[in-house]
Structures are given as C-alpha cells and as structure tokens.
Amino acid sequence: MDRTTPLMIALICGNLVESRHVCRAVIVHSSGRLLDTWGAINAEVYPRSALKPLQALPLVESGAAEAHGPPDQGVALACASHTGENFHRDIVRKWLTWMGLSNDDPECGTQEPRDEDAARDVIRRGDTIDRVFNNCSGKHSAFLPTALHLGEPTAVYTDAAHPVQRRLANVLSALGGTDLTTTARGRVAAKTDAEGAHIGIVPECRIGIAVKVEDGASRASGVGLCALLDHLDLLDDQAREGLAPFMDVSLMNLIGDPTGRLGPAYDWRN
C-alpha cells in the first residue's frame, strides 16, 4: 500500500499530545517491490551508522574476517556502535595487535565511553582516551583487515579514492543504497544511527524495513521500527515483552513517576 501520510510518533502526556515526530518509512521485498510506505520515501537521507552491517560485508566476503582476527567478535563489533565498555575496547585492541597495527591506525577520533559506568572508571583511573574508545572503532578496525587481506595500503583508507571506500560504494550501489541492534526471537536484525534512521532486515521473509525520523530524534526511530515489525505480525508475546522498552516508551521524572508515553500518534495501519 502506498501512503503519502507519514508515520507519526507522539509524546503523549495525560490527554495532551505534547510533541510529534514525523517519520518516513518503507517495507520492501528483496526483489525491489515496495510492500508498504509511509510519507515521502523517495527523499534522500544519510543512513549514517545504520549502514554498518552492510559496510561489514567486504570483511566477511573477502575472507579477511577469518584470516585477520577474531571472526565472530570482530564482525559483531564491525556491525555495531559500541558504548566503550572494557570488553569492547579489549576486542578492538586485540584485533589491532593481531594485525600488527596500533591504536592510532583506526581513522576515527577519540571519544569518551558512552556507557556511564565505563566513563566513570576511565576518569577514576586517569586512563588516556584513544581512538579505540570511539563508538565506531569496531567498524574502522574492520576496514583495516580487509585492506591487509587484499594487499592494499592501510593508511588513508577513509579517502574516497582508497580501494576500501570504492569497494564500500560498490556494495551499497549493488544493494540499492541501503541499534536498537536486537532480535525478535532471531528473526529480525536491526541497526540505528545517531539521527533518527533505523534499518532492519527479516531474512526469512526476504524483506527490509527502513524508518527515518524527520527531526533526527532517535527516541522515535525504535518505536517506529517496532511498530512496523508488529504490523507485519512478526512479534509474538515473548518478543513484544522483550521489545517493550522500544514499542511503547514510558517517560519518567527524576523520582521515577511516569509522566507520559511515546508511541504511534494514530491508527496508521489503515
């Protein structure tokens, strides 16, 4: 069904709609056939980190994941935006050491851990924050073994002319240009970004789902994606329970009292 009306996620306090997040959304079959749409789906967007699972494909397809590091953990971090916890950083450091590279080789900036406990530990210990702490260091560390495996230079791999970037461009072009990283009983894999884009795949149904929140609010993108999964009847009671924090978000004040909820603003299914 082709709907021009966007999917709307609302913050409702009492009986008042306090704010609305306008979302574009699409459900598409692997053949390219559009199964359902909401809003102006042809408008271009930057999917940002939501593309990480696709950017990790050359790591696996080239054989680099098996040849240059811990394949399972490495691929998982390549697809993720991690929170800088100790075990995240340890995996990246071991991976770089395995390749004979240093913490300075990933071409991403430094960043304090997004996990609050990890950030406090870093301050308490007086640790030096390096590039490994960056939430994208897994992705960047995945570009390096691919270059090594294919005999390419590891320096300046973020340049658009570098073989790593040309290969990524070819992958995205071949796939049509398309965190709550979670599963619905193993049937769905999804990845979000920092500006309200959320992309999911349902391999058994051969479909993909994409949501883009116009104002970039990540708090609405997970709600939108879960609403579409429910619309597709992919969630049983156990999955709904597990995804409850994303399906119908309760807002609390500082003493823990509920003050509102975030959810679809109207019956958008019809």
Structural tokens at position 182: 């979670």
Q: Within 13 Å, how many C-alpha atoms sit on residue 219's CB side?
A: 13
Q: Could you state, in order of their start, the residue ranges of all structural domains in the chain?
A: 2-46+189-264, 50-174
CA distance 165 to 143: 9
User: 8 phi and psi, to 5 degrees?
Assistant: -120, 125
CA dist 130 to 90, 112, 126, 172, Å? 13, 9, 12, 30
The DSSP letter of residue 167 is H
pLDDT digit string (tens) for the chain, length 270 residues: 557 788 999 998 888 888 999 999 999 998 989 999 999 888 888 888 888 888 899 999 999 988 887 768 888 888 888 999 999 999 999 999 989 999 999 999 899 999 999 999 999 999 999 999 999 999 998 899 999 999 999 999 999 899 999 998 888 777 654 544 444 555 777 788 788 888 888 888 889 899 999 998 888 988 999 889 888 888 878 777 777 777 778 888 888 888 888 888 766 665
CA 18 to chain centre: 27
CA distance 235 to 43: 29
| Residue of 249, 259, 269 lying closest to 21 (CA atoms) | 249
CA distance 105 to 84: 17
Provide long-range contacts, Cβ within 8 A and 24+ apart, for 224-229. 224/7, 224/9, 224/23, 224/25, 224/198, 224/264, 225/180, 225/190, 225/192, 225/198, 225/200, 226/180, 227/7, 227/263, 227/264, 227/268, 228/7, 228/25, 228/27, 228/200, 229/184, 229/188, 229/200, 229/202
151 and 67 Cβ atoms separated by less than 8 Å: no
Q: Can you give the pLDDT at residue 178?
A: 53
CA distance 198 to 218: 9
DSSP-assigned letters across all residues of 84-103: --HHHHHHHHHHHHHTT--T
CA distance 94 to 68: 11
